[in-house]
Amino acid sequence: MSNNNHDELANQFHSDMLNIYKEAKKINYTPTAFLQMLTKQNGLIVAKKLINSNQPSTGFSVLWDKKRLDLTVEALVLKVEYSTLFSKEERQTAKERLMQYGYKNVRMNEDEELITAGKIKLPKLVFSSRAREYNFYSEEKKDSIVYEYLFNSMSHRGLDENVLMIPVEVRTGHESMNILHFIGLRDIHKGIFKDYSIEQAIKRLEHQEQDFSIVTQSLYRLNKEINGTLNDILNSDIDSEKAEDDSYYKDGAVNFYYGKRYERNPENRKKAIEIHGLNCFACGFNFEEIYGERGKGFIEVHHVSLLSTLVEETIINPEKDLVPVCSNCHRMIHRKKDNVLTIDELKEILNNKRNKLPSF
């Protein structure tokens, strides 16, 4: 694994460690000491310390009492996607500790050992020689068809409607079906990656005896596009929010401000969009409705809390702390650094303006 990939995975792991704290609070347990550890050190370091301790942590014991061992660090360590971050011995310790306390789902987290050994096999591809539809549609359309079919179980008719945009009067489902059949994907493959991330699916595909390269290439392109879009949105959001504090522009202040004040986890941005949608919370604007394909999937994301009130390692709740806003509304919210508007305040301005417009 390259250093960049390792760092990205470690950051993702740290985010999931913070999620343990949030989920624990939902069951009336607030692991304050655990959170303090995470504010001082990366989650990967904290996890290794806890795993290599001779005794289970206090938090582990509390979660055992609450019958929620699924929220332990040990359960997180055994997740497939994090197998490369820990040694075989560390993973074995986590497994044995969970089994000792009666956790029933340990084996569910051992898939990667079987995958890398080539022992978990996906249904075989069955190729069709009909290439007309596959050659006709763009790479982007075909990639979307592969994703929606494998991850979201979308039907052939649904793919024709929502991806290929075929008019209802001529829609049969055959167009997308023939694309999938040419790639080798059949009914038995539908929804096989329902609970997987794209990265997990790629890992599984790459350890198959049969050549899934066409599918894998589609997922690589999609993953690159998603990450690129998130980075564009992220940078746009940060530019919008810089105006909140003059200290951002002072020499020597950029790195501190950048690290302390901005929630830079693209996963939180992605989750916020999944929860709230792509319409502006203030004015209702939707980029795709106005700009068509070029605006598809685009929206900026705004921090509900004033950035000046945030501290390092602030836990971001995508549902409550982040909301989608269009570029214009985002700029208006932050236009005056000494009077940053709330979403409701901006809505009131917009409503008052609309009420004053003459009716015809």
Q: What is the pLDDT of residues 159-180, one digit of tens each?
A: 999 999 999 888 888 999 999 9
Alpha carbon distance 15, 1 (integer Å): 20
Mean pLDDT of the chain: 79
Query: pLDDT: is 270 or 23 the higher one?
Result: 23
pLDDT of residue 230: 52
CA 12, 15, 21, 23 dihedral sign is: negative
pLDDT tens, residue by residue, 207-220: 787 888 899 989 88
Q: DSSP state, 253?
A: T
pLDDT of residue 2: 53
pLDDT tens, residue by residue, 48-92: 999 998 888 999 999 998 889 999 999 999 887 788 898 888 988
pLDDT tens, residue by residue, 207-257: 787 888 899 989 888 877 665 555 555 555 555 555 444 443 333 333 333
Alpha carbon distance 67, 98 (integer Å): 12
Alpha carbon distance 94, 73 (integer Å): 8
Q: What is the 3-state secondary structure (H, E, C) of 199-210?
A: HHHHHHHCCCCC
- Cα three-residue angle 118-122-126, rounded to 5 degrees: 125
Alpha carbon distance 292, 163 (integer Å): 13
pLDDT tens, residue by residue, 289-307: 888 888 888 888 888 875 5
Alpha carbon distance 39, 36 (integer Å): 5
Alpha carbon distance 31, 315 (integer Å): 14
- Tokens found for residue 79: 């997740």
Phi and psi angles of residue 166, each rounded to the nearest 5 degrees, phi first: -80, 130
- Tokens found for residue 189: 């493959």
- Tokens found for residue 143: 């990639």
Which of 96, 91, 54, 55 lies closest to 76 in space, CA to CA?
91
Tell me the residue type at 65: D
pLDDT tens, residue by residue, 312-325: 445 667 888 889 99
pLDDT of residue 69: 92
**C-alpha distances out from residue 117 to 2, 113, 207, Å:** 21, 6, 8
pLDDT of residue 7: 80
Asked if residue 128 has pLDDT above 60, the reply is yes
Worst-scoring range by mean pLDDT, 2-16, 148-162, 327-341?
2-16
User: H or E segment at 32?
Assistant: helix 32-40
Asked if residue 156 has pLDDT above 80, the reply is yes
